[in-house]
Amino acid sequence: MTGTDNKRRKLVLIGNGMAGVNVLEQVLKLTNTFEITVYGEEPYPNYNRIQLSYVLEGSKTIDDIILNSREWYEENGIALHTGTKIERIDTAAKKIYTEGGDAADYDVLIIATGSKPFVLPIPGADKKGVIGFRDIADCEAMIDAAGRVKQAAVIGGGLLGLEAAKGLVQLGMETTVIHLMDTLMERQLDDTAAGMLKAELERQGIKFRMGTKTVEVLGGTEVSGLRFADGEELDAQLVVMSAGIIPNTALAKASGIETGRGIKVNDYMLTSAPDVYAVGECCEHRGVCYGLVAPLFEQGAVLAKTIAGVNTAPYEGSSVSTKLKISGIDVFSAGEYQNAPDHQVLRIHDDWRGIYKKVLLREKKIVGAVMYGDVNDAPLLTRLVREGGMMTDELYGELFGGGTGCCGGGGGSKPSAVQGMADEEIVCGCNGVTKGDIVRVIREDGLSTVDEIKFKTGATRSCGGCKPLVEQLLQFVLGSEYQDKKETKQGICGCTTCSREEIVAAIQEKHLTSVKEVMMVLGWQQPDGCSKCRPALNYYLGMAWPSEYEDDRNSRFVNERLHANIQKDGTYSVIPRMYGGVTTSEQLRQIADAADKYGAKMVKVTGGQRIDLLGIEKQHLPAIWAELGMPSGYGYAKALRTVKTCVGNRFCRFGTQDSIGMGVLLEQKFERLWMPAKFKMAVNGCPRNCAESGTKDLGIVGNDGGWEVYVGGNGGIKMKEAELLCKVKGDEELVDICGAFIQYYRETGNYAERTSDWLERIGLEQVRKFVIEDMDNRKALIDRVETALAQLQDPWREIIESGKLRNDYFQRIEVTQD
């Protein structure tokens, strides 16, 4: 349906990556006349693909690289469909069709389907264990493989291949990079810089086979190695294909849209179909397909203005420069980088300090540059290459002379280079942020840290390569008021410089009782906060004033508001609580009936001993909960998720303690109590550990003499074995210690900090002192957790408060059914 004057036009984005969503961010700043819908094949909101290597090596989680949370889409009125593939576009009827058969209308359509890895057309390339490196699923596959196999091969010595190799080495794998050419990154670096890079990566543990052609993947159904053109073989149980990328044009081709190497577009990013645009790695402009980030955002700026009806200059192509960080090493190139007979070559090469700089001239005009190690002059050289600047004695002294440059101090800032930049010059190519944008927010908003600039403008948010330049601009604008980043206090997010401790202290000392009040009193930079600080403030307020604070539902994530986990296809996962993993035939019938009635796509037993109903539509959530008549299992919450139990001495011939009874008691006591992060428990009836207490936030193991209490375990991405906190004899003391531990974690943990990280930060001995050894403090913690528990609206609590703490569970489960 075509939009009319009194109806918002329908803007549909196919592809939920960095290029497409950046267009939407700019459109939202220009107009509010669109009803926006986004379709992405992956089960995640928009994330920073550039930082996938950090997820692979384990230094970041998936949540850490999310650029636009699900809350951002919701707050901006964007309908997000993750895990949804678009199969066809009817450009005449202006409709799109999903793989599942659903259809949707559009007035304006943007195709941003990105690229896909080039898979070598060799025998065995389809074997299990051969993967690319383009998305989170690839990362997860490599992490999984690292736990099973020890030898990996990466085909391709470009940026992605080297980052994959670094991550695999960090995971403990013996990793070899196979590259067809004799030098690494031959499209960005000259022989000297490439040689320095290779030597450093070898020191980091990566092996190389240069000038080697792979001709076959060996193995049966699973890969076992590679065969090369010279007949030699290499053992490998994991092969990462990273030999290049190709634009993803399949959808455009299937829909009759003109393609070449990519989807062909004009200078306003319009395809051959009316009102259908393309942007990013999938498109071809004037015969060129760009694979670097900066050109994609330059395209996006033109496209956003075009569809918003704002006058804009056409996109005429990008002057490509490359500034990258590879395995912690900075490299840069712009323009011509290989020596030619008509070049005048200016260079510095310092192996001791690991620094290399080369500038190429043609008749004194700067036509190219390469740098390794120290890339402070990258912005200046990018501009000079783009503008064809002339080399002068003064400029030579700035680039190659003493002082703060690459020869005279290494890594110092160059205010003169920043000062010479034009206001319209791009500082952050990933997000299209100019020098003028940054200078304006520093002056107008009184910003003093890089994080504040990131929050306001997006600069440094993606690859982070522009961070040194942003710091230089900060120093240039603030002058003597500038504080080095190391001395600048970091807040819980870019909205504030206040730490968690300062925020909690202010809440208690000033008796602040609302999210808005905290932001106002503590001088939030962003009046409405962000999706990182609002939930944190909501938690801290509830923890500080359990009897008087009214929960701010608008500060909760969508999963918590709907009591269900959103899935990649936009449906929800419903998990009713089963105390201690025990259920009844009546509950099972209720679950089965609800699953049938509301069309659950899958019914799955979870690792936490519950039943998960997957594929429930959003509109059916209130009805299915009412029909189940069971409390939520909080599978989405920063709260107690599960208490896993073995059968204990009720049935097991090895059991020494009633693990089921204790597990049910603890779960019923502490459910619904909000915590800094998700919290998992387990109770074992004997040291055989069938309930896996050793990887839980709070694990309890029964023995002949009583109970052992373990804390700080984590069975997720950052695996950590729980540590022994104490041993106790009686049940009541065990419950008290659990309550005191939980409350101490609630009061001292950072928001979203799991107990494994919290325990590592504050130390086990400090926990023992406050929870075990200091009886007065333990009692105070128990009193405070009981106060918090007393505020919970929970009709099931009467079972615990009746005093029948050790009654037979099966009698209690009958009572709860009444």
State the number of CA atoms in the 13 A half-sphere of 388 facing the CB: 2
Cβ pair 351, 336 in contact under 8 A: no
pLDDT of residue 462: 65
Residue type (1 letter), 319: S
pLDDT of residue 484: 52
User: What is each CA distance from 603 to 202, 574, 592, in whole angstroms?
Assistant: 49, 10, 9
**Among candidates 174, 130, 150, 156, which has minimal Cα distance to 212?**
156
Q: What are phi and psi of 244, to 5 degrees?
A: 130, 175
How many CB atoms are closer than 10 A to CB 718?
13
State the number of CA atoms in the 13 A half-sphere of 304 facing the CB: 22
Alpha carbons 337 and 385: distance in angstroms, whole number? 11
Residue 495 marked ligand-binding: no
Its sign, for the CA torsion 663, 664, 669, 671, is: positive
Q: Are strands 34-39 and 79-81 parallel, antiparallel or unpaired?
A: parallel
Residue 430 marked ligand-binding: no
Residue 530 marked ligand-binding: no
Those residues whose C-beta lies under 8 Å from the C-beta of residue 9, and which sit 6 or more positions away, are 3, 33, 34, 35, 107, 108
Its sign, for the CA torsion 681, 686, 689, 690, is: negative
Q: Are strands 207-209 and 174-178 parallel, antiparallel or unpaired?
A: parallel
Cβ pair 282, 15 in contact under 8 A: yes
Alpha carbons 738 and 730: distance in angstroms, whole number? 13
Tokens of 179: 């590259």
Tell me the pLDDT tens digit for each residue of 377-392.
Answer: 887 888 889 889 999 9
Alpha carbons 555 and 551: distance in angstroms, whole number? 9
**Among candidates 669, 666, 733, 741, which has minimal Cα distance to 710?**
741
Mean pLDDT by 10 residues, the chain (818 residues): 62 96 94 96 91 83 86 91 95 96 96 94 95 92 90 94 92 95 93 95 95 96 96 97 94 97 97 98 95 85 95 89 78 91 94 93 95 87 88 89 43 54 74 84 84 81 74 85 58 86 93 94 85 91 93 83 81 92 93 95 94 92 90 91 94 92 95 94 94 95 93 86 95 96 96 94 94 95 94 51 37 34
How many CB atoms are closer than 10 A to CB 681?
25
pLDDT of residue 468: 77
3-state helix vs strand vs coil in the chain, percent to 5: 35, 20, 40
Q: All domains of the chain, ordered by start, with CATH?
A: 9-114+247-308 (3.50.50.60), 130-243 (3.50.50.60), 321-334+351-357+373-485 (1.10.10.1100), 500-556 (no CATH), 559-628 (3.90.480.10), 640-812 (3.30.413.10)
Tokens of 119: 């898979």
With vertex at residue 137, the alpha carbon angle to CA 68 and CA 290, rounded to the nearest 5 degrees, is 65
Alpha carbons 668 and 800: distance in angstroms, whole number? 7
Residue 533 marked ligand-binding: no
Lookup result for tokens 């920043």: 418
Query: Residue 423 class from Cβ within 10 Å (0-12 exposed, 13-18 middle, 19+ buried)?
Result: exposed
pLDDT of residue 430: 63
Alpha carbons 262 and 319: distance in angstroms, whole number? 19
